[in-house]
Amino acid sequence: MIKIRRILLLFVLVLLALSIATGAQAQGKSITVLTIKGTINPVLIDYVERGIEDAEERGAEAVIIQLDTPGGLDTAMRDIIQHMVNSEVPVVVFVSPSGARAASAGVFITMAAHVAVMAPNTAIGAAHPVAVGEDGESAMSETMEEKVLNDAAAYIRSIAEGHGRNVEWAERAVRESVSATEREALELNVIDMIASDLDTLITQLDGWQVTMLDGEVVTIETSNATIADFPMTAIESFLYAIADPNIAYILLSIATLGIMAEIFNPGLIFPGVVGGICLLLAFYSLGMLPVNYAGILLIVLAVGLFIGEVLTTTFGIFTAGGVVSLVIGSLILFQGASPVFRIDPWLIATVTIILAGVLAFIIHRAVTAHRRQARTGREELVGKTALVKVSLKPEGTVFFKGERWRAVSEEKDIKTGEEVIIDSVDGLVLHVSRKPQSKQ
């Protein structure tokens, strides 16, 4: 009994110690760290929102967003900035590691931070809206181009003014696509500091004062603060990975192959299932990207022409048209968008070669199958010799080219082992007669 009491007492003390340690840790200072590496797309909106909310609930000193991006979608960028501006804890954007960049949409996000920081050997700038038509291929009118450009310039001016940063440089980054290194950005008052790594940044942030949206001045205290990494969930990571032009194109290609294989070989099931799943994922991915619908229609037309080539005899006309339609559709699928939303030309060439090769194989198989069918039709059976397996009285069974057939004979009795001649075919029944004996 005494031993049981001691065990229970020890258990209670352990629980109490864990509770005290947990409480102390919860009351301690912490910093939430998010990582954005890649294009700015809608998946990041929920990720940034969750990270900021988590920091607010834990009373974190700050949220640090480690940023490395070539740019992305304007709508996603604006939603992310809204979450940053309305955050109850200071948001620090750290362009890192060395070699990273904050281009296009990344410029807006960096300048919207309460504290903007860059690592050595990084760059910021080139925020001109590419969709306006830098390459001269945009379908927008000059008036619309000017409206979009003026809107982006006004937005970044507002962001820069709100954080006391260089308004003139910010507008030039939009209108003239200027860029700056970390040293130049610091001298131009585009960023607040340079830090070699995350630990150095946290040390430099200690005692830094920022002004929140409501005008409250907050002092960031990072001394002895714990770092709380806030990674994406598995689903977010997967969705973010497939929201890439090249991945979307690969998914669309696999979907095309799977569905074509199922159409030409009904009952295989597996290609159809894989193709259907990839098609839905491709739709999701394309929905996250600035898609040119003319490109999608041309790719759909290419698939239709490929199917038509197999089902009809066009002597390669549909195939040639399908290849041309596929290549053009692939090239313009993201036409007018930022270069980060362009499909790799080598990927387009590879997919086109694979699809053409698969189509050629399917056509070859189809032609071979049609030829076999002609050889095993009624024309092949009539006049041929079969072997009696079950005596004909007058019905029985004969054996012809590895198959058993039900047979009927007009003669009274033909015994097993005798040879007969196939006179006619009635469905699956052969009408036969005894094979004449050869004269000696």
pLDDT-based confidence at residue 314 (cuts at 50, 70, 90): low
pTM for this entry: 0.70
- Range 243-260 average pLDDT: 87
pLDDT digits (tens, 9 = 90+) for 85-123: 999 999 999 999 999 999 999 999 999 999 999 999 999
Task: For residue 50, name the pLDDT band (cuts at 50, 70, 90).
Answer: very high
Peptide bond into 97 cis (omega under 30): yes
Q: Which of 19, 37, 147, 384 is catalytic?
A: 147
pLDDT at residue 367, rounded to an integer: 61
CB 360 within 8 A of CB 369: no
Alpha-carbon distance 439 to 215, whole Å?
Answer: 118
Looking at residue 335, what is its pLDDT? 66
What contacts 47, CB < 8 A, 6 or more positions away? Answer: 34, 36, 232, 236, 240
- What average pLDDT does this structure show over 382-401? 86
Q: How confident is the model at residue 23 (pLDDT cuts 50, 70, 90)?
A: very low
**Mean pLDDT of all residues in the chain?**
83
What is residue 134's predicted lDDT score, i.e. its pLDDT?
Answer: 40
Query: Which tokens go with 132?
Result: 């306006």
- Closest by alpha carbon to 307, among 319, 290, 320? 319
- Give CA separation, 22 vs 25, 28, 162, 353, in Å: 5, 10, 39, 60
Pairing of strands 429-434, 419-426: antiparallel
Domains of the chain: 28-232 (3.90.226.10), 244-375 (no CATH), 379-434 (2.40.50.140)
Among the ranges given (2-11, 41-50, 118-127, 334-343), the one the predictor scored with the smallest mean pLDDT: 2-11
Taking the C-alpha atoms of residue 132 and residue 207, their distance in angstroms, rounded to an integer, is: 42
Q: In what order do the strands lie in the sheet with 62-68?
A: 193-194, 115-118, 91-95, 62-68, 30-37, 226-229
Tell me if residue 393 is catalytic.
no
Residues 130-140, mean pLDDT to the nearest whole number: 46
Checking if the pLDDT of 440 tops 60, the result is: no
Q: Which residue has the higher pLDDT, 258 or 66?
A: 66
- With contact defined as beta carbons under 8 Å apart, do 118 and 325 qualify? no
Q: Average of pLDDT values for 396-419?
A: 84
pLDDT by residue (tens digit) across 60-91?
999 999 999 998 888 999 999 999 999 999 99
Whether the link from the prior residue into 394 is cis, omega within 30° of 0, is: yes
Distance of CA 143 to the CA centre of its chain: 34
| pLDDT recorded at residue 317 | 79
Residue 366 has pLDDT above 70, yes or no: no
Q: Tens of pLDDT along 272-303?
A: 899 889 989 988 888 888 888 888 888 888 88
- Per the annotation, the verdict on 147 as an active-site residue is yes
pLDDT band at residue 193 under the 50/70/90 scheme? very high
pLDDT at 16 over 80: no
The SS3 call for residue 123 is strand
Whether the per-residue pLDDT at 375 is higher than 60: the answer is no
Q: Which candidate, 41, 35, 36, places its Cα nearest to that of 242?
A: 41
Question: Which entry of 87, 104, 285, 409 is annotated as an active-site residue?
Answer: 104
Percent of the chain surpassing pLDDT 70: 83
How far is residue 80 CA from its own chain's centroid?
A: 21
Q: Which of 89, 82, 87, 92 is nearest to 113 (CA)?
A: 92
d(CA 300, CA 333): 12
Pair 166, 188: CB distance under 8 Å: yes
What are the pLDDT digits (tens) for 215-231? 889 999 988 889 999 99
